[in-house]
Amino acid sequence: MAIQTLLGAVNDALRTAMRRDESVLMFGEDVGLKGGVFLATGGLQKEFGKERCFDTPLSEDGIIGAAIGMAMNGMRPVAEIQFQDFIFPAFDQIVSEAAKLRYRSGGQYTAPMVIRTPYGGGIRGGLYHSQSGEAYFCHTPGLKVVIPSTPYDAKGLLLASIADPDPVLFMEPKALYRSVKGEVPEDYYTVDLSTTRTVLEGDDVTVFCYGAMVPVVEKAAAMAAEKGISVLVIDLRTLLPLDEDGVVEAAKRTGRVVTVTEAPRFCGYAGEISAIVAERAMEYMEAPVLRVTGFDTPFPNTLEHHYLPDARRVIDAIEKVYSF
């Protein structure tokens, strides 16, 4: 076991996959010699050469289009979109081509590819470097959407994503890149997609979260424990396809549910969790499901600390459902 940051675990996963399988290649803007904006691909070009880790033009639709073609022809491409905020020029390639390839070809073709992209706030990136657009892609059958929150999961989930026979959008919470550390096996291993992780055991309130909100919820759960409230914290990890049965069982355990995301509230992923609980576990609920989210505004710069959910907002919601 090695102690790594989440960023280091991503790099380790890429290196492990590329050593294991020559069909795996990494490309995107500045990912080669520079190693990417956050250095997630540092050292890969030096080890594997320019044919397997290379820079592309600044063209997101071109990057994803090329990845689709490679994936259809026996490669396992890992394409990086430098910031999730700039993925939208490639939206049509992702949702209309990659995600639908298996269905439209009757299973004759698939797109075993991974799109890596850092997302979310927490680094004072302002309007165009802080957005959380996961809900756009979770509305797309045929696509998988994965978000790690720990170094262990970052490596295991990324390796599982690279091995998956269908396209995976692997969203990396950049606020956690260097702020969390943990033990990571040095060998190849995978974490099953579409599984949740129990972060903390509890009996009074269930809180669902993912990505950079997991440490925030852990802090709120510790505050709740001081007040005698036991919180079950569930890290969703794979948003699409979601482990719905796991979500329902966790909701039933306490009868009180809070969902925490940093994306805007309206039509956000927190609403989907609320709907699933309402449809499948309503008779077990002792209180309304509450959402703690970002606000329905463009992402601010100087007011970032007000926009992002913090432990105070989460503990307020926990106490509200607990005392309902």
pTM of the model: 0.97
Sort 150 into a burial class: Cβ within 10 Å, 0-12 / 13-18 / 19+. Answer: buried
CA distance 271 to 263: 11
Q: For the chain, 324 residues long, give each residue's pLDDT as a single digit of tens.
A: 899 999 999 999 999 999 999 999 999 999 999 999 999 999 999 999 999 999 999 999 999 999 999 999 999 999 999 999 999 999 999 999 999 999 999 999 999 999 999 999 998 888 899 999 999 999 999 999 999 999 999 999 999 999 999 999 999 999 999 999 999 999 999 999 999 999 999 999 999 999 999 999 999 999 999 999 999 999 999 999 999 999 999 999 999 999 999 999 999 999 999 999 999 999 999 999 999 999 999 999 889 999 999 999 999 999 999 999
* Nearest to 179, CA basis, from 210, 212, 221, 156: 212
Alpha-carbon distances, residue 131 vs 73, 174, 249, 264, 324 (angstroms): 33, 11, 31, 9, 33
Active site residue 129: yes
Q: Which domains does the chain have, with CATH numbers?
A: 2-184 (3.40.50.970), 197-322 (3.40.50.920)
- Active-site annotation holder among 129, 139, 305, 306: 129
Tokens of 38: 């956050």
- Three-class secondary structure of residue 67 per DSSP: helix
